[in-house]
Structure 1
Amino acid sequence: MKVACVGGGPAGLYLSILLKLQDPSHDVTVHERDREGSTYGWGVTYWQGLLDRLHAYDPESARAVAEHSVRWNQGIAHVRDLATRQPGDEGHGIGRHKFLEILAERARTLGVRLEFEHEITPDALPDADLVVAGDGVHSALRTRRADRFGAELRPGRNSYVWLGTTKVFDSFTFAFVETEHGWVWCYGYPFSAERSTCVIECAPETRDRLGLGEGGEADALARLEKLFAHILDGHPLIGRAPAGGPAQWLTFRTLTNRSWYDGNLVLLGDAAHTTHYSIGAGTTLALEDAMALADALRECADLPRALARYERERQSALLSPQSAARYSAQWYENLTRYIDLPPDHMFALLGQRHSPLLPYVPPQLYYRLDRAAGRLEALRRLKRWLGPKIARSAHSRVLTSRE
């Protein structure tokens, strides 16, 4: 089978690896418009479950990923002048550049052709049995067939900026800072022995009133360094705007697609779906897309049947993380509902932000119920039963109001 993967991100590279492992005779090419090593971004997060799956699919690349990752097993939340630590599941961070380097080297070793600085346009698709659109949330290949895929982009409310820092955090770190114009907060996590990622978020009106979106990026970073001096310990924040350009504030947009394939063109990773960055699942879900597509192609000799199976399985698998991401984003958009709780209560509800029940129960009551549910099986069952019902009812009301 001849396969062309458009986009040299994690999903496209990993799919190329899996297809070559399945059958070395597959003719697989990855086309990437940017030069090699020019990736954007800082570090990505993942959890042990993904690493276990990587080991199951390709132990060699999994070992390299694990070797170059850093780990943490607790979280810390700074609220005003107080800090609260809580143990948690082991998390992993790896530099995006290193991650792509590992996957590209593994793909080359297996005989995949990697063509950098080679842009594929919708008017000149490669001659292949299967064309994989892994060209990101703004996929040109998907956009050209918008009516076929049924893409829908829903913008969030808050603004965020993706930064790096030389401060190496020892835990997954949250910091919430109150200013005269509203709250500003960050998520920080290490991805190497020298660097951490630092995502800073706030309401757009807070950003504007603090002057964080005006002038050059250097001015915005200096102001943010002052706000988060208590966690940066004198280390700088690092941006990626062109010299003299403004800080690259963004609004997250959640992408869904009604269909994931059209003929021999199939969507993968961010071209197919996005989930809010606050749940740290984007890279994991993209790699799981690659695993599912490779499995479907191996087990179904007929291409349309394979693509239909892939679409069905992944759309079903994404229901839970998409719901979690939606509620997580809403938790931050309604931060003032939780921020005045005692710090340990607030941190506990931060960990429960994916719950469909939380937005509809007073925070202190939810905290007490959650604590009690941890001790009583009957309450745990009630919580599991009631949450989705309330969420479905609320979602139906939202859809009705849009009509």
Structure 2
Amino acid sequence: MKVACVGGGPAGLYLSILLKLRDPSHDITVHERDPEGSTYGWGVTYWRGLLDRLQEHDPESARAVEENSVRWRDGVAHVGDRSTRHRGDEGFGIGRHRLLEILAARARSLGVRLEFECEITGDAPPAADLVVAADGAGSALRTRHAGHFGTDVRAGRNHYVWLGTTKVLDAFTFAFVETRHGWIWAYGYGYGPEGSTCVVECASETWTGLGLDRADEAEGLVLLEKLFADVLDGHPLTGRSAPGARAPWQTFRTLTNRTWSRDNLVLLGDAAHTTHYSIGAGTTLALEDAMALSAALRDRAALPDALAHYERERGAALLPVQSAARHSAQWYENLPRYIHLPPERMFALLGQRHSPLLPYVPPRLYYRIDRAAGQLEALRRLKRWLGPRVARTVQARNLAAREENDGPAPSGPGAVRGHSG
């Protein structure tokens, strides 16, 4: 099969790797509009589950990704001059440039052609048996047929900007700073010895009140460095705009599509769906799309059947993630509802931000209910753990007492009868 992947991000590159691994005779080309190595961005985050799935599909690239990642288990929240730290699940960070280098090298080693500085427009798609639109949320191939795909884009309320810093954070870090125009906050995580990713977000009135809507990027970075000085420890923030240009602040666009394919054209990754950055799932979902599409193409001989199966599988898998992302975004949009709680309580509800119940229950009451439920679950786990051990201990004591009174117990099938407990 001749395959053209439009977009050289993680989704397109990983799909090309998986297709070549399953059938080296596939003729695969990845078309990327930007020069090689020019991608913007600092680091991406993912969790242990993704690494396990990468290992199942291609151990070689999984090993390279893990070796070039940093990891953490702690989450830290700074709220004004108060802080709290909690132990959590194992998380990973890797530089976006390094991730793309790993995937590009693996694809080339398998015989995939990579064509950089090659822009594909919706009016002139490449000739291939399968054309994969992996060209991001602004996909030209999808936009050309937006009516067919049923594309829907909804903007969030808050403004955000994606930045980097040379400060190497040792935990997934949240920092909330109060200004006279409202709260502004940052999410940060390390991706290597060179630094960390730092996403800054605030409500529209805070953005305009601080003058960030009028400042160029350099002016905005100076202001943000002052606001987050305690977390940055004197390290600078870095942007990506040309000197004098406005910082690329934007509102997050949640993108969905009614269908994901049209004839031999199929959507992949952000071209098909976006989920709010606050759940850290974008790269994971893109790679999982590639896994599902490659498996569907392997298992179903007819292309329409394969694409329909891929869409059904990924659509079902995305439902809980999209719900979690929607509630997470809304939690931050309603930050004043939670921010004045004690830090450990605020951080606990930050961890519960995916809950559809949380917006409708007073935060202090929700916290108490959640704590009580957690204690009950801990008791249930303890009971499940203790149950077999207590039963074995009681059985051993009963047997010892019986032997003491009656002599050794008989052996053999059917020797012990009566109640179990």
| TM-score, structure 2 normalization | 0.89
Single out whichever of 348-357 and 211-220 deviates more from structure 2: 211-220
Question: Match for residue 309 of structure 1?
Answer: 309
Distance (whole Å) between structure 2 residues aligned to residue 357 and residue 195 of structure 1: 37
Question: Match for residue 399 of structure 1?
Answer: none
Kindly indicate whether the alpha-carbon contact (under 8 Å) linking 1:372 and 1:379 is maintained by their aligned counterparts in 2: no
Distance (whole Å) between structure 1 residues aligned to residue 216 and residue 279 of structure 2: 30
Cα deviation 1:6-57 (Å, max 9, x = unaligned) = 0001000000000000000000100001110010111000000000000100
Question: Match for residue 217 of structure 1?
Answer: 217
Distance (whole Å) between structure 1 residues aligned to residue 215 and residue 332 of structure 2: 26
Kindly indicate whether the alpha-carbon contact (under 8 Å) linking 1:373 and 1:379 is maintained by their aligned counterparts in 2: no
Distance (whole Å) between structure 2 residues aligned to residue 293 and residue 180 of structure 1: 49
Distance (whole Å) between structure 2 residues aligned to residue 108 and residue 68 of structure 1: 19
- Is the counterpart of residue 29 in structure 1 residue 29 in structure 2? yes
Distance (whole Å) between structure 2 residues aligned to residue 345 and residue 85 of structure 1: 12
Kindly indicate whether the alpha-carbon contact (under 8 Å) linking 1:55 and 1:63 is maintained by their aligned counterparts in 2: yes
Distance (whole Å) between structure 2 residues aligned to residue 79 and residue 17 of structure 1: 44
Q: How many positions carry a matched residue from both structures?
A: 380
**1:242 offset after TM fit, Å?**
1.1
**1:215 offset after TM fit, Å?**
2.8
Letter in 1 for 2:141: L
Letter in 2 for 1:329: A
**1:375 offset after TM fit, Å?**
2.3
Question: Match for residue 87 of structure 1?
Answer: 87
Question: Match for residue 71 of structure 2?
Answer: 71
Distance (whole Å) between structure 2 residues aligned to residue 250 and residue 232 of structure 1: 23
- Is the counterpart of residue 136 in structure 1 residue 141 in structure 2? no
In angstroms, what is the RMSD of aligned CA positions?
1.2
Distance (whole Å) between structure 1 residues aligned to residue 194 and residue 256 of structure 2: 36
**1:379 offset after TM fit, Å?**
12
- Is the counterpart of residue 298 in structure 1 residue 298 in structure 2? yes
Alignment of 1:239-254 (within 5 A): 239-254=239-254
Is the alpha carbon distance of 1:92 and 1:378 closer, same or farther for their aligned partners in structure 2, counting shifts above 3 Å?
closer
SS in 2 for 1:374: helix
- Is the counterpart of residue 111 in structure 1 residue 111 in structure 2? yes
Letter in 1 for 2:159: S
Question: Match for residue 409 of structure 2?
Answer: none
SS in 2 for 1:332: helix
Distance (whole Å) between structure 1 residues aligned to residue 249 and residue 16 of structure 2: 33
Distance (whole Å) between structure 1 residues aligned to residue 375 and residue 215 of structure 2: 53
The runs of 4+ residues in structure 1 deviating greater than 3 Å are 377-380
- Is the counterpart of residue 234 in structure 1 residue 234 in structure 2? yes
SS in 1 for 2:242: coil
Alignment of 1:358-397 (within 5 A): 358-376=358-376
Distance (whole Å) between structure 2 residues aligned to residue 377 and residue 43 of structure 1: 36
**1:378 offset after TM fit, Å?**
12
Question: Match for residue 49 of structure 1?
Answer: 49
Distance (whole Å) between structure 2 residues aligned to residue 205 and residue 101 of structure 1: 40
Question: Match for residue 157 of structure 1?
Answer: 157
SS in 2 for 1:72: strand
Distance (whole Å) between structure 1 residues aligned to residue 19 and residue 169 of structure 2: 37
Cα deviation 1:245-294 (Å, max 9, x = unaligned) = 11110110000000000000000000000000000000000000000000
Is the alpha carbon distance of 1:149 and 1:313 closer, same or farther for their aligned partners in structure 2, counting shifts above 3 Å?
same
Distance (whole Å) between structure 1 residues aligned to residue 280 and residue 194 of structure 2: 21
SS in 1 for 2:341: coil
Alignment of 1:339-354 (within 5 A): 339-354=339-354
Larger radius of gyration: 2
| TM-score, structure 1 normalization | 0.93
Question: Match for residue 329 of structure 1?
Answer: 329
SS in 2 for 1:126: coil
- Is the counterpart of residue 191 in structure 1 residue 200 in structure 2? no
Is the alpha carbon distance of 1:98 and 1:344 closer, same or farther for their aligned partners in structure 2, counting shifts above 3 Å?
same
Question: Match for residue 392 of structure 1?
Answer: none
Letter in 2 for 1:36: E
Distance (whole Å) between structure 1 residues aligned to residue 295 and residue 332 of structure 2: 37
Question: Match for residue 166 of structure 2?
Answer: 166
Cα deviation 1:76-109 (Å, max 9, x = unaligned) = 0000111100000010000101000000000000
Letter in 2 for 1:39: T
